[in-house]
Amino acid sequence: MFSRSNGRKSETMEATFNYPEVAKQSTAHFGSAGRSALITDQVEIKGTLAFDGPLEFNGTFEGEIISQGSLDIGPEAVIKAEIQAAKIVIRGKVQGNLTATESVEICENAQLFGDVRTNRFIVAETALFRGRSDPIEGRDDSPDFSPTFRHLTKAK
């Protein structure tokens, strides 16, 4: 509802907005053409975010992120979420557990507080990581070093 006053009696004007129904097949998808979607630092989201293709996220988010694409978490981003994606690159701050089928990379000065499950995990020297990391295929058994240590103890 909008109010308008021009020195006379106050008038009220009703406004109704109708948004057209959008068929799922006409929804824009970003990906193979080299384009990516961008969410700026002025955006705050709470809930579930699902997408395909690459996404650069610089806003504030709380909830769950699910994708088969790549997620680039920008330097201004603050995220508290469980994240599942193919590839995750962190430049901002994240609290939550991550699962990535390809890789997780924590860049310079980024922060991650949570557990990581991925096949390839890269942590920059100045990054902050508090959590555990496990390979996606399951826990690999540690190698048996006992023959080597027995050999070293006999050499004394």
57-96: pLDDT as tens digits: 999 999 999 999 999 999 999 999 999 999 999 999 999 9
Query: Does 92 reside within a domain?
Result: yes
Helix (H) or strand (E) holding 63: strand 60-67
DSSP assigned state of 70: E
pLDDT band at 40 (very low <50, low <70, confident <90, very high): confident
- Evaluate if residue 132 carries a pLDDT over 90: yes
pLDDT of residue 16: 44
Which residues are CB-contacts of 17 (< 8 A; sequence separation ≥ 6)?
Answer: none
For 25, list phi and psi in degrees, rounded to 5: -70, -15
> Cα(39)–Cα(55) distance, rounded to whole angstroms?
8
Which pLDDT belongs to residue 41?
A: 86
Q: For residue 96, give the DSSP letter.
A: S
Mean pLDDT of the chain: 79
The pLDDT score that the predictor gives to residue 22 is 40
pLDDT of residue 148: 59
Q: What is the DSSP string of 73-92?
A: E-TT-EEEEEEEEEEEEESS
Which DSSP string corresponds to 6-45? SSSS-EEE-----PPP--GGGS---STTS--EEE-TT-EE
In a domain, 11, yes or no: no
17 belongs to a structural domain: no
Contact between 32 and 49 under an 8 Å Cβ cutoff? The reply is no
Instruction: Tell me the residue range of the domain where 125 lies.
Output: 59-133
CB 118, CB 103: distance < 8 Å: yes
- Tell me: pLDDT of 3 over 60: no
Task: Report how many domains make up the chain.
Answer: 1
Q: What is the mean pLDDT of residues 17-30?
A: 39
Structural domain includes residue 147: no
Structure pTM? 0.68
110 within some domain: yes
Domain membership of residue 76 (yes or no) is yes
